[in-house]
A = this chain, B = another copy of it.
Amino acid sequence: MAQENTRDSILDAAEELMARRGYANTSMRQITGKAKANLAAVNYHFGSKEGMVAAMLDRRLEPLNRKRMELLEAEMEKARLEGRRPDIEMLLRALFEPILRFFRSSEGGGNFIKIFSQIHSDSDDTIRKHFLRHMIPVFMAFFTAFQEALPTLSPDKLAARIFFCIGSMAHAANILVNEKITTISSQLKVPMMSDPEGLMEELIQFNVRGLEIS
């Protein structure tokens, strides 16, 4: 986070504040205050608060989804060459494992994960609109791949199961990051898996079992 330009400082501050308070509850004054930037800088760099949020999401979602599509296409190509169906576990890894990168990265990755885990079912049109623009083509590509992996499963049941997978992932990510940021889940007197890699493995195997069987 050290030695940044104003633009990136603003996006980092927005990410951190919105991770905790949400979009509507975070004001431009709070953001520019934390970023040590001038209030007018947001409008200068991004045009509006909404433009700032769009830039904040683009910065994270573009590389995330590019990696997902790379891994998806690699498995589809491998399956084609080997004359087999795409493997469900490999498809789930392509969809979920690129998220781990944000847990490892020091600079603000955890803040984005918090936003990411909520945005899948956010009530705010402003923020969900930009998220869906990134996600719809990715979802469609994965849906097609899962159809090839499970050709006898009806499309509506398959779609439902993929939504179950996404929901389980989003909730797991939220729990994992809440553990770091707030003390909420510490109210639960239950042992938590706190290493992202172990939780990811458990998540993938859980969803492999849930998905298969027509």
Binding site for B on A (CB under 8 A): 18-22, 24-25, 114, 117-118, 120-125, 128, 132, 136, 139-140, 143, 155-157, 159-161, 163-172, 174-175, 178, 184, 187-193, 199, 202-203, 206-207, 209-213
Contacts and interface: CB of A to CB of B under 8 A. Distances in A.
Contacts of A191: 155-156, 159
Residue among A24, A155, A211 having the largest count of chain B Cβ atoms under 10 Å? A24
A212 B205 CA distance: 11
A25 B165 contact: no
B121 A171 contact: yes
A185 to B, nearest CB: 9
> How many copies of the chain does the oligomer comprise?
2
23 contacts: A20-B123, A21-B24, A21-B124, A25-B123, A117-B121, A120-B171, A121-B170, A140-B190, A155-B190, A156-B191, A159-B190, A160-B172, A160-B202, A161-B202, A163-B168, A164-B168, A164-B207, A167-B167, A167-B168, A168-B168, A170-B171, A171-B171, A210-B210
